[in-house]
Amino acid sequence: MTHIASRAQTRFMVGFIAGFLSALIFSSGMIAIFHAAGAAVPFAPWSMEPVPPFGVPQSLSAAFWGGLWGVVYAFLEPQFTARLGWWSGGLVFGAVLPLSVLWFVVMPLKGLPIGGGFALSTVPVDIVLHAVFGLGTSIIFRLGVPLLSGRSRR
pTM assigned to the model: 0.88
For 49-93, write each residue's pLDDT tens digit: 998 888 999 999 999 999 999 999 999 999 998 999 988 999 999
DSSP calls for 138-154: HHHHHHHHHHHHTPPP-
Cβ(91)–Cβ(30) below 8 Å: no
By the 10 Å C-beta count (0-12 exposed, 13-18 middle, 19+ buried), 144 is classed as buried
Give me the sign of the Cα torsion angle 73, 85, 78, 9: negative
Q: Taking CA 56 as the corner, what is the angle to CA 54 and CA 60, rounded to the nearest 5 degrees?
A: 140
Of residues 103 and 121, the one with the higher pLDDT is 103
Domain locations along the chain: 3-149
